[in-house]
Amino acid sequence: MSEYVHADARGASVGLVERREFVLEQGLEVACGLRLAPVSVAYETYGTLNRDGTNAILVLHALTGDSHAAGYYAGEDAKPGWWDIMIGPGKPLDTDRYFVICSNVLGGCMGSTGPASIDPQTGKPFGSDFPVLTIGDMVRVQRRLLDHLGVDRLLCAVGGSVGGMQVLEWSVRYPDRVFSAIPLATTTKHSAQAIAFNEVARQAIMADPQWNGGHYYEGARPGHGLAVARMIGHITYLSDESMRHKFDRRLQDRCDLSFNFEADFQVESYLRYQGNKFVERFDANSFLYLTKAADYFNLEKEWGNGSLVAAFARARARYLVTSFTSDWLYPTYQSKAMVQAMKKNGLDVSFCEIEAPWGHDAFLLPNERLDTLMGGFLERMERELEKERARKTTAAGANGHAL
């Protein structure tokens, strides 16, 4: 996930927002067998939960995102949330109609429990003693947050990239709690190439002398390693066309080659800037843990004994699956594979490959086609959920009359 932040003039902002905290005092046992307690979850909400509790939408963020999906904070940080183009009055996730929730994932560094949190056993940050997590662990914590908020069933779960993995996990792990799902630019399991890029990025961090085996919080941080890791990741978020359009081989602030190892080219300068900017806001250990969780994600192994069709046999959701033509990190063939498995189970599935030149991060950028798809899908889901509720009410009345 890149540093794209756009305010959208096509709809109103949700305005001032506040990050809140939910604490799961009893914690939970994560997939590796260790117990984390307590567990804190940073989250934000936009809009109002209706009386029937049928208008909740859960937004799942990508790898390095956070709970600040829309609106802006008071004070010095007036930057809009990372999906402000999608969330707010008159936007696809219309907060005049929907109650939108976004939380920072378990293992993150933006308010939720992660490697930088204090280990109650030692009184010091966990560092690399933090347990290795899975996407499933993150979703289990999110479920407890929804219980706390009084949301029994989601109208929709929506997210892109690693957020899309969480959407898929939600729909299969808790099928009765997800009426519909929108996985964007995502996959049911990482390819060898995706794992390879993540491993090179992790090695960049761990090779930094300041990493200190993951216990660096009382001293210098592994800033250089994290910056290089971000540069590697950022390349995968863009496309050849977008890089050619933005930079080509143009030089940076010079008329000729320097014949040294300065940033001669604009693309070099851009990557260095992105890397250094990332170090200011993100924790190196969280990057290690979150990329590992993404690599471990394998829906067909976890829920289908190796069969994607068997995994989606658990699902009940209506799906809108979307890919982007220039996304080479999670290319369209991976979306088509999940759509095929969904259809073999007779699920209600819509699929669209959107023409977009900007690579994997296209789901974060303004796109009228995506706006139309998501807005129309959510309106249809509202109608279908209401019909379902009406049928259940009629059936219950008939059964009561028969008794």
What pLDDT digit, counting tens, does each position of 324-369 carry? 999 999 999 999 999 999 999 999 999 999 999 999 999 999 999 9
pLDDT at residue 354 in the model: 98
The encoded tokens of residue 391 equal: 């049928």
Q: Does domain 20-190+298-402 have CATH number 3.40.50.1820?
A: yes
For residues 225-240, one letter each, b for 16 or more C-beta atoms within 10 angstroms of the residue's C-beta and e for the rest, the string is bbbbbbbbbbebbbbe
Angle at CA 136, nearest 5°, toward 20 and 188? 120
**105 pLDDT higher than 50:** yes
Catalytic one of 8, 66, 94, 327: 327
How far is residue 102 from each of residues 33, 56, 305, measured CA to CA in Å?
27, 11, 31
Q: Which of 309, 319, 230 is nearest to 271 (CA)?
A: 230
Say how far apart CA 403 and CA 399 lie, in whole Å: 6
Q: Which pLDDT band holds residue 9 (cuts at 50, 70, 90)? A: very low
Q: pLDDT higher for 74 or 238?
A: 238
Q: What is the mean pLDDT of residues 263-272?
A: 94
Which residues is 56 bridged to in the sheet?
99
pLDDT of residue 10: 59
Residues 308 and 203: beta-carbon distance below 8 Å = no
The gap from C-alpha 186 to its chain's centroid, in whole angstroms, comes to: 10
Question: Quick one: pLDDT at residue 5?
Answer: 52
Distance CA 25, CA 30 (A): 15
Q: One of 13, 161, 171, 335 is an active-site residue; which one?
A: 161
Decide: helix, strand or coil at residue 169: helix
> Is 360 labeled as catalytic in the residue annotation?
yes
| Residues in the chain, total | 403
- The CA distance from 313 to 177, in Å, is 15
The whole-chain average pLDDT of the chain stands at 94
Distance set, CA 22 to CA 104, 143, 156, 162 (Å): 11, 12, 21, 22
Tell me the two tokens of residue 165.
């993995």
With vertex at residue 231, the alpha carbon angle to CA 167 and CA 222, rounded to the nearest 5 degrees, is 95
Burial (CB < 10 A; 0-12, 13-18, 19+), residue 52, is exposed
- Is 91 within 8 Å of 8 (Cβ atoms)? yes
The pLDDT value given to residue 228 = 98
Is 327 known to be catalytic? yes
- Asked whether the beta carbons of 62 and 4 are under 8 A apart, the reply is no
Which one has a higher pLDDT value, 401 or 256? 256
- Mean pLDDT value across residues 289-293: 98
Query: Does 264 belong to an annotated binding site?
Result: no
Task: Provide the residue ranges of all domains of the chain, joining segments of one domain with +.
Answer: 20-190+298-402
Residue 159: phi, psi to the nearest 5? Answer: -175, 160
Could you give the percent of the chain with pLDDT greater than 70? Answer: 95
- The answer to whether residue 98 scores a pLDDT higher than 90 is yes
Instruction: Give mean pLDDT, residues 264-287.
Output: 96
The region of weakest confidence among 63-77, 78-92, 331-345, 387-401 is: 387-401
Signed CA dihedral, 199, 267, 77, 160: sign only: negative
pLDDT given at position 199: 98
Give mean pLDDT, residues 106-123.
97
Selected catalytic residue, list 61, 190, 224, 360: 360
Amino acid at 269: S
Q: Would the pLDDT of 401 be above 80?
A: no
pLDDT in tens, 149-192: 999 999 999 999 999 999 999 999 999 999 999 999 999 999 99
Residue 230 among known ligand-binding residues: yes
Above 70 in pLDDT, residue 402? no
Work out the pLDDT band at 393, boundaries 50, 70, 90.
Answer: confident
Largest CA distance in the chain: 89
Residue 8: predicted pLDDT: 52
